[in-house]
Every structure is written in C-alpha cells, then in structure tokens.
Amino acid sequence: MKNTKQEDFWSESFGKEYSDRNSWQTDNEWDQFYIENWGKTKLEINDTVLAGLPRDIKILEVGCNIGMQLKGFQRMGFKELYGIELQAYAVEKAKRVTENINIIQGSGFDLPFRENYFDLVCTNGVLIHIAPVDHHRIMGEIHRVSKKYIMGWEYFSPNVVDINYRGNPGYLWKADFAGIYLNSFSDLGEVKRTKFPYLTEKDKGNTDEIFLLSK
C-alpha cells in the first residue's frame, strides 16, 4: 500500500529531527516536561483513565517514537508492552533506551497483528499527525487489533483544525479524536475523558485530552 504524504514526511529527516528534539535523557526530565506543560507527570495523567486496570494486560502503542510512553507504562507496573514506529531512527533509539519492551518498525495503517491481539491499543500525540481523510483507516486498524480498550492522548478541539507545524501546513491537526472513534465504530463506548489545558504561556488556550474507550 502506498505511503501517505504524512508517512513520507515523518520517515525522512523531519522525523529524525523530531526524535532528537524529544529525546529526554532521564525519566525525571520527561516527568518535568509534563509538569511544566500540564501540571502533572504523564504517569499521573495516564492514571486518570488507567487506574484499576490489571497490570498484566497486553498493550500496544502505535507511533511509539523513542519509547518514553512505553517506559512510563512500565513504571506504572504494566509488563506486556509492545510498540510500533514508522521512523527507523526512532526505533533504534527506542531499543537502546528501553528494556523488556517489544518495539518494531512499521505503519499504523498496516498493523502486523491478528484481530483482538491486544487488550489495549493507544496513541500518544500520533493521531494529530494523521490527515483527516485517513482517520478512519488508521483508527480501523487500531480498533481491529484491540480486544477491549482504545486509549489516546491527543491535541483537542471540538472541530478539526489544521495547524501550521514549523512552517509546514498539512502535518498537524487538533480534533475531537475520541468523538471520531465513537462516531466511527458502533461497538465502542466511552469509559473516561479528561482534558488538560496547557499551562505554558506560549501554548495557553490549547488543550490536550486523554481518553479511554471500550468495546
């Protein structure tokens, strides 16, 4: 299947530069980034929707970049962790900084797993980089391989908004991604959604949302 324009963009030098910009050296640095932007660590944000879930569930992150989100799940006690990432450079970095996490290179549009293989499939700042015309295709793959839960941490807006990303239009959007899932798949229901406004001066007025949906 032919790559999307966004896949080509992220597979090349821009994707490598993104991975380098978002390479925290320690868990503490990563925690501080979230505290400065949203007032909580990502582990605390995750816990708003994941509290009470068994720690032995099988989790896949689509678009895992260098693996920090997966390391965060590991710190929360989750053990069966998998990641798939388009950018080869990020996969190699992820393999160097993670332990006992299964990370492969591949596309979210063609997940190499059977139906219902994972208990939970998630994205963290990934759907925001998918063109709206392709939302249903990537969400369809996520829905296909998830047996129970779909989780997301994404840039929120009640309407789809195209944002110029470092001088590049057509590579970043904010939207109601949980709502798109719910409108696309009749077997999905909302478990919890929580919004986190940005605290930094340059991003004030913007909001991220974490959501958990269930079949």
Distance of alpha carbon 154 from alpha carbon 147, whole angstroms:
21
User: What is the pairing mode between strands 146-156 and 207-214?
Assistant: antiparallel
pLDDT of residue 168: 75
Per DSSP (E only), the strands in the chain are: 58-62, 80-85, 102-105, 118-124, 146-156, 161-162, 173-174, 189-197, 207-214
User: What pLDDT, in 10s, does the model give residues 156-183?
Assistant: 999 999 998 777 778 899 999 999 999 9
User: What pLDDT, in 10s, does the model give residues 186-195?
Assistant: 999 999 999 9
| pLDDT-derived band at 18, boundaries 50, 70, 90 | low
User: What pLDDT, in 10s, does the model give residues 120-141?
Assistant: 999 999 999 999 999 999 999 9
pLDDT of residue 4: 83
59: its two tokens: 């989790």
pTM: 0.93
The average pLDDT across 99-115 equals 97
pLDDT over threshold 90, residue 111: yes
pLDDT of residue 213: 99
Distance of alpha carbon 149 from alpha carbon 26, whole angstroms:
29
Question: To which residue do tokens 């969400």 refer?
Answer: 139
| pLDDT-derived band at 10, boundaries 50, 70, 90 | low
| pLDDT-derived band at 142, boundaries 50, 70, 90 | very high
User: What pLDDT, in 10s, does the model give residues 55-92?
Assistant: 999 999 999 999 999 999 999 999 999 999 999 989 99
Q: What is the DSSP string of 18-64?
A: HHHHT--SSHHHHHHHHHHHHSS-HHHHHHHHHTTS-TT-EEEEES-
pLDDT of residue 31: 97
CATH 3.30.360.10 fits 25-61+68-80+107-214, yes or no: no
* Chain centre distance of CA 121: 9
